[in-house]
Amino acid sequence: MNTFKNITKGSFICLFFVLTQFGCKTDNPTIHKLAGSALGTTYHISYLGEELDSLALSVDSIIDIINHSLSTYQENSLISCFNNNTNSLWDNPTEAAYFDTDMFHFKYMIQLSKEISSKTSGAFDPSSGCLFNEYSRAKASNEMMNKNTIQSCLNHQGMDKIEFETLGYPFKLDSFVELNFNAIAKGYLVDLIGNYLNQENRENYMVEVGGEVVANGVNLLGEPWRVGINTPLIGADPLNFFEVIELNNQALATSGNYQNFYKIDNKLIGHTIDPRSGQPMINELRSASILHKNCAVADAYATACMTLGLEESKKIISNDSSISAYLIYENDSTLEGVFVR
């Protein structure tokens, strides 16, 4: 059972596959599709070649692993035990099914998050789980986040407060630190499903989870897979693409602030929380689409960019040759887009 709640980030990419049998460039091409639910959203998989009878079962197994490891909505997951300072799984790992596998993914998420948090000067910070909880409470009550709670959260966060012991298990230097990987989990699931397809020797595929995508090889026409980026306006036609991007063995993740918000006294309170100040962020950047070979990395940077704003995002992306981006921003009430490499 899916134990993640809906963790949509507010800006989505619409996928469209030009999948017609006319004008095909491959010999007797066959495309197979699989769709389902995962992490509080949906997934879609399209691939060419011989059908994989085991795909649905394998995807379910991968989703279960992510839930066991990273779901804060599953009481006995590794992340829940970590957040609650209940180390029963650490103390008796042989009593927990698949402990080593779950711990592998949990550790990887911590290590990758520490790296990206450092590179983005804390704009991406999964140790801000306390802030996420306070925002969720405030939104449900339709009120502003409590200033005292925000300050308390800020006092007990930071990826530098998490280290690894001799056996490689993570531990907290501050027992009040709470992790939340919602801003990177969908991208990571995309990567894991893509890795499975690679292991099964499928060279041409696209995997999408809640708008985060990885594409390999070509589509049914023998052309690169293409992804349309929505116009980031409230009420915009979902098929009104602001830009179309070709993916060449790449991952793409998009984040935005225009769909997930609430209002207080006609003021929009966006869902992007700056982990450095604890405040909801709405700036000139309307959506950030990040390209990288790794969808988890793209996912994390897309979130960071929405916190950083346009100019700081440009600087960080320009300084990393492994990342490129398409940023949509507001300029004098007009939407404009820019590629950054």
Nearest CA among 17, 41, 62 for reference residue 200: 62
- Is residue 44 within 8 Å of 213, Cβ to Cβ? no
The mean pLDDT of 236-244, rounded to a whole number, is: 89
Nearest CA among 258, 273, 263, 268 for reference residue 149: 273
CA end-to-end distance (rounded Å), the chain: 40
- Give 224: exposed, middle or buried? Use CB within 10 Å, 0-12, 13-18, 19+: middle
Instruction: Provide the mean pLDDT of the chain.
Output: 88
The percent of the chain in helix, strand and coil, each rounded to the nearest 5, is 35, 25, 40
Nearest CA among 295, 288, 287, 289 for reference residue 209: 295
Instruction: Give the pLDDT confidence of 148-170 residue by residue, as tens digits.
Output: 999 999 999 999 999 998 888 89
- Angstrom CA distances, 193 to 19, 55, 190, stand at 21, 9, 5
Domain 13-340 sits in CATH 3.90.226.10: no
- How far is 65 from 85, CA to CA, in rounded Å? 21
**Residue 240 pLDDT level (bands cut at 50, 70, 90):** confident
Sequence letter at residue 190? V
pTM over 0.85: yes
Among 163-172, 221-230, 246-255, 293-302, the least confident range: 163-172
**Does residue 116 register a pLDDT over 80?**
yes
- How far is 3 from 12, CA to CA, in rounded Å? 22
- How far is 126 from 116, CA to CA, in rounded Å? 10
The mean pLDDT of 302-309, rounded to a whole number, is: 96
- Give 280: exposed, middle or buried? Use CB within 10 Å, 0-12, 13-18, 19+: buried
Annotated domain spans of the chain: 13-340
